[in-house]
């Protein structure tokens, strides 16, 4: 399998990411109609705990594998590549088995003491096997990321999404007659099936990849890269532990957020079923819409790690600055029109997607911070690739602490309720992004052209105004026609201004077209 350039690898992951996000909205749209916001709340409630456990196992290992494999590839040391992979796989599998057994044995105690709704127990049980399968998949993805071959990761993501969609909807529907708790558990089994299918795709690609590599690779004589497995484990842990610590803060914050949210809403006088429904609406409806454009930023962050690691190993500061500027400008220019649409058309968007117009209030509150979300992933990936995970850890901790404090003191007040949680999440997003930015500026003396931000603002403003006028002017009685037209008109006007201001040029369009054709082929 051949490695891809930074842009080509990003485009491959972007194509897969956009397919996944679009397909992923099928269950997002239909699941609330099958099991309602309350059922979605039960389905979502166990996720923060799952993510916390997965962070222990996969938080830093894939990034460490990608970085070490990229370095070994740069020196054509195939023996070290194999050794890194085997060590990481053994470590990850051992952790996966341990935490799967631990969470299964402790399921009853955890759901009784940390969740206000006891019905989450069955979903929690069905969720546990995911831990083991993801622990293996994560190492395989890190391996291919280090090889700078994004095709296996992209294909596994698409396969996982397709199978998850099918089985989440089928199993939740079949289990609904037995109660909402069983319907939510059925949906979680669908997620498990998707993860198993993704692992099978990655395993197939790994087997194919091994066939084209040297059968008996030998490290270079006298190379410092040919030590034993124990040294390889120390190297792996040396990179993985700080990254895991950084991600662990975010995951622990997410878990505490879910627990504090339902507790705060209960303190505000909101009954358990309503609190579960509100939490389900926020995490299962609003956040996924907000994160839809992050398919690009995820692709950029995955491609950045090996690219920046390779450039850092060569001492090529010009490439590091160029890649960062390229990534952040892409995130800014592509995320802006989505932020405009989500702010101006929040209520009709939630109405036509979920049949829940009132959810639009939360989306409108979060839309202004969307660009900070899209910036955050490349910034954090850059800090990790440049061996500054400690900075990312501190920044994440500060933002998470602020978020939890606001949830505790604001969301528990009846006049705020769930909107207090939204405020807390917004503060966390903005604060962490700004702190990441400051860390990179201090590390690299990095600067972005301030005119890019001004140009994007001037492109967003008329696009938002046109969308608003098109939607809320009664030029036709069909509201859905106005919504579609308003969305298309706003995006089109934004692109026109982006071309006029030079945010997008003809070369960008031609490169995108050529790469799109290659990806499709």
Identify the H or E element spanning 359: none
Task: Supply the pLDDT for residue 515.
Answer: 46
| Residue 1 within a domain | no
Residues 148, 234, single domain; the answer is yes
Q: How many domains does the chain have?
A: 2
Locate 110 and state its tokens. 């955890």
Examine the domain organization and report whether 455 and 354 are in the same domain: no
Q: What token pair was written down for 361?
A: 């209030």
Give pLDDT, residue 505: 64
Same domain assignment for residues 155 and 295: yes
Q: For residue 277, give the nearest of 211, 373, 180 by alpha carbon.
A: 180
Write out the residue range of the structural domain in which residue 504 sits: 449-476+484-521
Same domain, 277 and 136: yes
Q: How many CB atoms lie within 10 A of CB 458?
A: 15
Q: Does one domain contain both 223 and 370?
A: yes
Q: Please list the rounded mean pLDDT of every run of 10 residues in the chain (521 residues).
A: 54 63 70 80 79 79 82 77 86 90 88 77 90 91 82 85 89 90 91 93 87 55 47 73 72 79 81 77 84 69 66 76 80 88 93 86 92 85 77 86 90 86 93 92 82 90 95 91 95 91 67 50 52
Q: Do 386 and 496 reside in the same domain of the chain?
A: no
Q: For residue 234, is it within any domain?
A: yes
Task: Find all residues with CB under 8 Å of 99, minimum gap 6, and list them.
Answer: 53, 56, 57, 131
279 and 388, same domain (yes or no): yes
**Does a structural domain hold residue 513?**
yes
Specify the pTM.
Answer: 0.68
Tokens 């389905």 locate to 43
Helix, coil or strand: residue 518: helix
Residue 86 lies in a domain: yes
| Length in residues, the chain | 521
Between the CA of residue 474 and those of 343, 390, 487, 496, what are the distances in Å?
A: 20, 54, 16, 25
Q: Are residues 109 and 169 in the same domain?
A: yes
Q: What is the DSSP string of 413-455?
A: STTTTHHHHHHHHHHHHHHHHHHHHHHHHHHH-----HHHHHH
Contacts of 406 (CB under 8 A, 6+ apart): 420, 423, 424, 427
| 203 in a structural domain | yes
Q: Are residues 173 and 312 in the same domain?
A: yes
Q: Specify whether 395 is located in the same domain as 459.
A: no
- For residues 289 and 316, state if they share a domain: yes
Closest CA to 251 of 44, 48, 47, 41: 48
pLDDT of residue 300: 60
Q: Which of 239, 231, 230, 206 is nearest to 61 (CA)?
A: 239
Query: Do 299 and 399 reside in the same domain of the chain?
Result: yes
- Asked if residue 175 is part of any domain, the answer here is yes
Report yes or no on 425 lying in a domain.
Answer: yes
118, with CB counted inside 10 A (0-12, 13-18, 19+), is: exposed
Q: In terms of Cα–Cα distance, which of 138, 61, 42, 50 is closest to 100?
A: 50
């Amino acid at each position: 399998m051949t490695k891809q350039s930074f842009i080509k690898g990003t485009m491959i992951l972007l194509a897969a990411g956009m397919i996944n996000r679009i397909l992923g909205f099928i269950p997002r749209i239909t699941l609330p109609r099958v099991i309602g916001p309350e059922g979605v709340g039960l389905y979502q409630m166990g996720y923060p705990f799952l993510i916390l456990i997965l962070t222990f196992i996969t938080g830093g290992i894939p990034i460490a594998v990608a970085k070490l494999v990229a370095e070994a590839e740069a020196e054509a040391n195939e023996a070290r590549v194999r050794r890194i992979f085997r060590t990481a796989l053994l470590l990850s599998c051992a952790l996966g088995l341990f935490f799967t057994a631990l969470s299964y044995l402790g399921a009853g105690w955890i759901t009784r003491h940390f969740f206000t709704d006891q019905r989450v127990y069955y979903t929690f049980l069905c969720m546990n096997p995911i831990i083991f399968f993801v622990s293996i998949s994560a190492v395989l993805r890190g391996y291919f990321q280090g090889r700078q071959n994004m095709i296996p990761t992209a294909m596994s993501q698409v396969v996982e999404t397709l199978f998850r969609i099918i089985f989440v909807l089928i199993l939740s529907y079949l289990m609904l007659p037995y109660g909402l708790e069983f319907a939510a558990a059925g949906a979680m089994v669908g997620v498990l099936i998707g993860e198993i299918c993704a692992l099978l795709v990655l395993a197939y690609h790994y087997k194919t990849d091994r066939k084209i590599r040297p059968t008996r690779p030998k490290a270079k004589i006298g190379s410092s890269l040919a030590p034993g497995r124990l040294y390889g484990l120390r190297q792996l842990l040396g990179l993985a532990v700080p990254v895991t610590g950084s991600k662990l803060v975010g995951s622990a914050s997410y878990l505490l957020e879910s627990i504090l949210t339902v507790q705060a809403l209960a303190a505000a006088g909101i009954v358990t079923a309503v609190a579960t429904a509100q939490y389900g609406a926020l995490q299962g409806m609003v956040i996924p819409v907000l994160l839809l454009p992050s398919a690009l930023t995820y692709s950029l962050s995955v491609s950045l790690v090996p690219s920046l690691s390779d450039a850092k190993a060569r001492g090529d500061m010009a490439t590091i600055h160029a890649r960062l500027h390229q990534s952040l400008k892409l995130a800014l220019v592509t995320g802006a029109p989505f932020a405009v649409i989500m702010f101006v058309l929040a209520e009709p968007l939630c109405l036509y997607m979920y049949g829940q117009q009132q959810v639009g209030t939360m989306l409108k509150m979060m839309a202004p911070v969307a660009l900070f979300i899209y910036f955050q992933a490349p910034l954090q990936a850059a800090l990790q690739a440049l061996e500054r995970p400690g900075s990312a850890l501190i920044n994440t901790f500060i933002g998470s602490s602020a978020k939890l404090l606001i949830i505790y003191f604001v969301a528990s007040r009846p006049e705020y309720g769930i909107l207090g949680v939204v405020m807390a999440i917004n503060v966390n997003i903005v604060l962490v992004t700004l702190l990441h930015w400051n860390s990179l500026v201090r590390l690299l003396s990095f600067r972005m052209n301030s005119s890019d931000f001004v140009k994007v603002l001037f492109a967003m403003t008329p696009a938002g105004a046109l969308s608003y006028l098109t939607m809320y002017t009664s030029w036709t009685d069909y509201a859905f026609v106005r919504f579609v037209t308003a969305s298309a008109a706003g995006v089109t006007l934004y692109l026109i201004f982006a071309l006029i201001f030079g945010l997008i040029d003809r070369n960008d369009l031609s490169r995108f077209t050529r790469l799109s054709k290659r990806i499709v082929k």
